[in-house]
Amino acid sequence: MSSVPFRAGLAATVAATAVALTLGASAAHAAPEVVVREDGRQQQAIELARQVAEREQRLAALNRQADARDRALIGRQELLARYGYHGDPDAVRVVLPLASYDVSAGFGLTGPLWEAEHGGQDFSAGTGEPLVAVSDGVVTDVSYAGPYGLRTVLELPDGTEVWYCHQTDVTVVVGQEVGVADVIGSVGSTGNSTGPHLHLEVRPAGGSPVDPMDWLRDAGLAP
Ligand SMILES: [Zn+2]
């Protein structure tokens, strides 16, 4: 620097300052704009997600109304038959959780979707499809449970816990007693889920999960 003539040095300094000012000015202008735009986008995404959730809940409510009207028109035997039970209505113990579904991911699978082994059975079904109590029981938990999404836990008289996961909405409250085949909520895709489905877990005595398909078959059903 000391060998640079004064005027050239001044010119260089002025030029550098001008560049710095320009950069500073553009950075000062650009930065908040980017933040505002990203903030706006995030707000938009949140708003869209809220609208989608609202629509799904309305759809679920409409489905439930239609289902309730339908239930009022058919007999108990026909209703139970929809959930896979074909015996004497007075002797029913267990029914399937859904009237119509496609069996998808099974119990005990491992893969990128699950942190450990898949602890339940997946049943693919449309968003808003009514979910029913597989047995008489008491609702012991309704909450957003991380990867399980909106989850309802039903405790059966023998202490078995049945988990209904990824629900769109829930129509029961903690402490409520429900009867076999009563509607408890709707299918959804909340939590760690790639599409609307029921993730059903069966935990004898509230312990480790067992294969829900085996449990349903042992109860005389053909899931
Ligand atoms: Zn699952």
Ligand 1 centroid distance, CA of 118 (Å): 6
pLDDT at 41 (0 to 100) = 86
CA of 124 from ligand 1 middle (Å) equals 10
Residue 73 CB neighbours (<10 A): 9
Asked whether residue 21 is domain-assigned, the answer is: no
Q: What range defines the domain where residue 86 resides?
A: 74-218
Q: Which CATH number characterizes residue 149's domain?
A: 2.70.70.10
Q: Which two tokens stand for residue 148?
A: 């399980």
What pLDDT is stored for residue 34 in this prediction? Answer: 62
Ligand 1 centroid to residue 112 C-alpha, Å = 12
CA 199 to ligand 1 centroid distance, Å: 4
Q: Assess whether pLDDT exceeds 50 at residue 172.
A: yes
Average pLDDT over residues 167-190: 96
State the pLDDT confidence band at 129, using cuts at 50, 70 and 90.
very high
Q: What are the strands, taking DSSP E only, across 168-210?
A: 169-170, 177-178, 183-186, 197-203
* Cα(169) to centroid(ligand 1), Å: 17
For 37, the 3-state DSSP assignment is helix
- The Cα–Cα gap between 139 and 154 comes to 5
Q: DSSP E strands: which ranges in the chain?
A: 102-103, 121-124, 130-132, 137-144, 150-155, 161-167, 169-170, 177-178, 183-186, 197-203
Token pair, residue 115, equals 């942190």
For residue 174, give both structure tokens: 């903690």
Distance 113 CA to ligand 1 centre (A): 9
Those residues with Cβ within 8 angstroms of residue 103's Cβ, 6 or more apart along the chain or in another chain: 121, 122, 123, 124, 213, 223
Domain assignment of residue 166, yes or no = yes
Residues 6+ apart with CB under 8 A from 63: 128, 129, 130, 186
Residue 38 maps to a domain = no
Cα–ligand 1 centroid distance for 91 (angstroms): 30
Is residue 164 pLDDT above 80, yes or no?
yes
Question: 183: CA distance to ligand 1 center in Å?
Answer: 21
Residue written as tokens 């039903």?
154
223 domain-assigned: no
Whole-number Å distance, alpha carbon 116 to ligand 1 midpoint, is 11
If you measure from the C-alpha of residue 76 to the centroid of ligand 1, how many angstroms do you get, rounded to a whole number? 30
- When divided into structural domains, the chain yields a total of 1
pLDDT at residue 32, as a whole number: 58
Give the up-direction half-sphere exposure of residue 8: CA atoms within 13 A in the CB hemisphere.
5
Cα–ligand 1 centroid distance for 104 (angstroms): 8
3-state secondary structure at position 63? helix
Q: Tell me: the pLDDT tens digits for 134-159?
A: 999 999 999 999 999 999 999 999 99
